[in-house]
Amino acid sequence: QDECRTLTPELTDSNYKDLQFSIDNTEFTQNRVIAELSKCSLKLKSTEFVEFGSFRSGHRLQWWNLLSILELDSLSMDEESVVILITHALLQYGPVTKDPKSLICSWCPESHQQLLEDHFVDELITRLDRHLKDCECNWQNELMLVIITVIVMRIFTICNSTRKEQMTNSVLKCRKIGEKWIELISKTIQNSSSSDSDKINALRDKIVII
């Protein structure tokens, strides 16, 4: 339990802090999230509160929930708390399966078995490509590129060989956009007044994140 607590990120944003339980594990129902609606921040829509809180409700549903978010834009993926939620869910191994024989491949945890379904990966690629295209020219939205890259790399490490080429292309797209953004931000820094240190430091932070 102590190790699990250490490895679980904490939500510090006041808008999401009351949903820490939805980060901690996948063993809760959406009803619990709905029951917490009275704690929803005025800065959040109730639908966002429920969507965020329900993302990890059931370890087998997390990738399906991600697909839904990518399709409907139901969560702001440039929010740090959303990035934490998705990153933690996708990188966590998940509960150990009692019956490994029921899995498509025993080496892949049950939480990520969907990535062994080519048609599911195709759906993810389509939506990720759309988001990459949408954010390509907006270097101020660095967290969007970060989370898309995390998703792409996670799919790449698990998907079948039949989808490696498509995922390699997605990885290279992320890298190309990142390189382009770093170049644009560097030029902005060069053209900034030396007295505007706060702005320059903020831009440098963006480069570090990218």
pLDDT digits (tens, 9 = 90+) for 37-76: 999 999 999 999 999 999 999 999 999 999 999 999 999 9
This prediction has a pTM of 0.91
In a domain? residue 111: no
Q: Do residues 94 and 121 both lie within one domain? A: no
Q: Do residues 87 and 146 both lie within one domain? A: no
In a domain? residue 26: yes
Q: Do residues 81 and 123 both lie within one domain? A: no
How many independent structural domains does the chain possess? 2
Q: Do residues 56 and 85 both lie within one domain? A: yes
Residue 36 confidence (pLDDT) above 90: yes
Domain, as residue range, for 27: 1-100
Q: Do residues 25 and 83 both lie within one domain? A: yes
Residue at which a domain ends, from 73, 100, 127? 100
In a domain? residue 109: no
- pLDDT range class, residue 96, cuts 50, 70, 90: confident
In a domain? residue 112: no
Q: Do residues 189 and 132 both lie within one domain? A: yes
Round the average pLDDT of the chain to a whole number and report it.
Answer: 93
Whether the CB-CB separation of 75 and 52 falls below 8 Å is answered with yes
pLDDT of residue 45: 95
Residue 55: how many other CB atoms lie within 10 Å: 26
Q: Do residues 89 and 183 both lie within one domain? A: no
pLDDT of residue 6: 82
In a domain? residue 163: yes
Q: Do residues 49 and 133 both lie within one domain? A: no
Q: Do residues 137 and 87 both lie within one domain? A: no
Q: Do residues 139 and 187 both lie within one domain? A: yes
Contacts of 126-135 spanning 24+ positions with Cβ under 8 A:
127/67, 127/70, 127/71, 128/70, 128/152, 128/170, 129/170, 129/173, 130/70, 131/70, 131/77, 132/170, 132/173, 132/174, 132/177, 135/177
Average pLDDT of the residues in 156-176: 97
Residue at which a domain ends, from 100, 125, 140? 100
